A and B are shown apart, each in its own frame.
Chain A
Amino acid sequence: MSVTIEEVEAAAQKHPVAPYLRMDRMPHIWCPTCGIGTVMKCYAQALEEADVDMDKAAIVSGIGCTGRVAGYMNLDAFHSTHGRAIPFATGVKLGRPELLVTVFSGDGDLSGIGGNHFIHAARRNMDLLVILVNNFIYGMTGGQNAPTTPLTAKSSTMPFGNFEEPFNLPHLAASCGAVYVARWTCLHTRRLTKSFQEAIDRRGFRFIEVIAPCSTLYARLNRLGSGFDLMRFYHDSAEIKHGADPKEVGIDFQDKIICGKFIDEDRPAMHERMDAHYKKVLGDKYVPMPPEGGWLHE
């Protein structure tokens, strides 16, 4: 049976998450069996299920494969510089506090070059939903070692295997003060969507790590088979342990992946704490920035 391009395009427009995406930018750039598209779809679905006002939602990405997500979401979207998505998003949030601001980027972007911003945004409990897609490698630049590459795994800059300790990202986020910390793989589509939805409704620094296969580079360099083999591996080796101690959820090469919700607390976000503090110490003299932002108009 043959289908025309027009039929494919018409079908795409009817896709349930089409209103949440820039369909005029499809097809996306990601490789077949890459997990990022699935994570993006889950995020779009979570926006729908959480009934988010899309006109009041902004998304910020850095650079890299996952950094392209902002460009495909039908929101106010910022494709910023490498590693700077979190401070850029901090500006967007503080400039117009009413916005729901999501940072959507990769492991290299957020925990490598952007690591300093990550820990400080978690410390000050910035009101950001941070979605980090971890594929254990720098994909866009061709498979170099990442701060998340497991010990002994090969990368193009660790051709004899990685000998540096990787980050355990949920532990990093939790120890810096993140109020919501979860990890899923991109195969947990229903749980991941629910987790996004839950995190959208929380306040403060919310961190969700999503493990996703990179068949083009990570699987190839490590002879892990096809993208489908990698997906099956992630499916079979994921173990759900809600409330697990984040310290215990580090990932070894081709070993089990502990998933679940590890932290879920309620603490005022940075801008809420600022408001409350100034109200207390300055009283009537304090003039808060209005929710629609600090812009001037006639």
Chain B
Amino acid sequence: MKADPAGVLTGAHYLDGDFACGEGAMAAGCRFTAGYPITPSTEVVERISRRFPMMGGTFIQMEDELASMAAVVGASWTGTKCLTVTSGPGFSLMMENIGLGAMMETPLVVVNVQRGGPSTGLPTMTGQADMMQARWGSHGDYRLIALSPQSPQESFDLMIDAFNLSEEYRVPVLFMMDECVGHMTEKVVIPPADEIEIVPRKLTDKPPGEFLPYKANGNGVPEFARAGDGYRFHTTGLTHDERGYPVMSAECQEELIPRLINKITDNVDKISRFDEENTDGADVVLVTYGITARVARMGIDMARKKGVKVGVIRLIVVWPFPEQHIRDLASKIKAFVVPEINLGQMVLEVERCAGGKAETILVPHAGGGVHNPQDICDAILRAAK
């Protein structure tokens, strides 16, 4: 279906990434947001709280991030598209109910405008050190989807994809921004509502009585029933059968948990998104994402001037990771170079997939700023030797 025009601020704007992210959510049809203030993400909910009353949306500032996350899981069960927004310390608190969202198969979007960590870290300064928390943060086995924008324009565009993916696969989608993208102001073009494609909630057409809330279709994803439509369904964070009833057994666990994982891993090719540039015949391939992808441009240009054949994979969907593609590349190149604003997170995935066929070189940054392009260039030159 097309976007509801009430939420779409069509036109060319000069917006920072946080505001663009909020606009993206509203354009995607988000009509419930619960949040707790935290730097550097707060502008997202400030934007939303100012515009929601004019489009039938409800914003509530909760008492903490535990509550914000619980509230969006609850509200999503009314069929409403839901968002919460945070940064590192709040992201840690949200892990509890992100797990609930995964277990109950609840569509929703969580924005993390990353800052320096751990703990309170560098509240006003950038970081990319929550990437593995996005993958593993809640306890137990599960798979989610995570995206990482590199600009305010992408903060808008990818937000719509984030909501659509959450509906398609019935999972929480994590929107891994960083402080630089969040606070960078650039031109953002918002298209007309009828050019924005929206995936609506996939409501079941089975009548109550015949409907099983956790019976998956061919895609591994069950159909949805909203609270208040007479289905009187039951849903729980406990291991459950197709009726949504708790079953405390290894057999039921074996039925449920692989399905939750397979609905993502079996569809990696459909979910995966990355920009690929000059990887054919490259000696070195840079794997990068978020603000670092833009900083790396200069380092790449510097290395190319010195004659190195450099290709680029810019991850847009970060999780699930494009494993097969990295494996395929590994046998054709000398080395991967992975700059990131942490001391080695996504590089572990690259290294794992490279499987020793290509060298993997991390260009670390502890956070609080972006890389010096010279460091990235130097790593590429080292890799090309």
Taking Cβ atoms with an 8 Å cutoff, the residues of A that contact B are 22, 25, 54-56, 58, 60, 70-71, 74-81, 83-84, 86-92, 94-96, 98-99, 116-117, 120, 271, 274, 278, 282, 285-290, 292-298
Q: How far is the CA of A55 from the CA of B227 in the complex (A)?
A: 8
A292 in contact with B246 given A80-B74, A87-B70, A91-B75 (CB within 8 Å):
no
Which B-chain residue is minimally distant from A25 (CB atoms)? B245
Provide the residues of chain B in CB contact with A76, threshold 8 Å.
77, 227-228, 231-233
Q: How far is the CA of A295 from the CA of B66 in the complex (A)?
A: 24
In the assembled complex, 29 residue pairs joining A and B whose CB atoms fall closer than 8 Å, in A order, are: A54-B232, A55-B232, A60-B74, A71-B236, A71-B245, A75-B232, A76-B227, A77-B234, A78-B74, A79-B234, A79-B235, A80-B74, A80-B100, A80-B237, A87-B34, A88-B74, A90-B60, A90-B74, A95-B76, A95-B227, A96-B227, A99-B228, A116-B63, A117-B70, A120-B67, A293-B78, A294-B32, A296-B4, A296-B81
Provide the residues of chain A in CB contact with B54, threshold 8 Å.
282, 285-287
CB neighbors of A among B234-291 (8 A): 234-238, 245-246
Return B29 CB to nearest CB of chain A, in Å. Answer: 5
Interchain CB contact (< 8 A) of A95 among B4, B80, B96, B100: B80
Whether a CB of chain A sits under 8 angstroms from the CB of B198 is yes
Provide the residues of chain B in CB contact with A55, threshold 8 Å.
228-230, 232
Interchain CB contact (< 8 A) of B228 among A58, A77, A78, A289: A58
A22 in contact with B200 given A81-B96, A96-B78 (CB within 8 Å):
no
Provide the residues of chain B in CB contact with A297, threshold 8 Å.
1, 200
Which B-chain residue is minimally distant from A117 (CB atoms)? B67
Cβ contact within 8 Å between B71 and A99? no
A293 in contact with B238 given A78-B74, A84-B67 (CB within 8 Å):
no
Q: How far is the CA of A56 from the CA of B198 in the complex (A)?
A: 28
A294 in contact with B71 given A76-B231, A79-B238, A117-B63 (CB within 8 Å):
no
Size category, B interface: 35 or more
A294 in contact with B31 given A78-B77, A88-B74, A91-B74 (CB within 8 Å):
yes
Provide the residues of chain A in CB contact with B60, threshold 8 Å.
90, 94
Return A109 CB to nearest CB of chain B, in Å. Answer: 13
Cβ contact within 8 Å between A94 and B228? no
Interchain CB contact (< 8 A) of A88 among B4, B71, B231: B71
Tally of contacts, chain A with chain B, CB under 8 A: 183
* Chain B 1-39 per-residue mask, 1 if CB under 8 angstroms from chain A, else 0: 100101000000000000000000000010110100000
Cβ contact within 8 Å between B1 and A88? no
Cβ contact within 8 Å between B74 and A278? no
Q: How far is the CA of A280 from the CA of B31 in the complex (A)?
A: 21
Provide the residues of chain B in CB contact with A22, threshold 8 Å.
234
Q: How far is the CA of A75 from the CA of B67 in the complex (A)?
A: 23
Cβ contact within 8 Å between B67 and A293? no
Which B-chain residue is minimally distant from A282 (CB atoms)? B53
A95 in contact with B63 given A79-B246, A287-B54 (CB within 8 Å):
no
Whether a CB of chain A sits under 8 angstroms from the CB of B72 is yes
Whether a CB of chain A sits under 8 angstroms from the CB of B73 is yes
Cβ contact within 8 Å between A81 and B70? yes
Which A-chain residue is minimally distant from B230 (CB atoms)? A55
Q: How far is the CA of A83 from the CA of B237 in the complex (A)?
A: 13
Provide the residues of chain A in CB contact with B96, threshold 8 Å.
81, 84
Interchain CB contact (< 8 A) of B67 among A78, A87, A94: A87
Q: How far is the CA of A95 from the CA of B229 in the complex (A)?
A: 13
Cβ contact within 8 Å between B232 and A71? no
Return A273 CB to nearest CB of chain B, in Å. Answer: 12
Cβ contact within 8 Å between A116 and B198? no
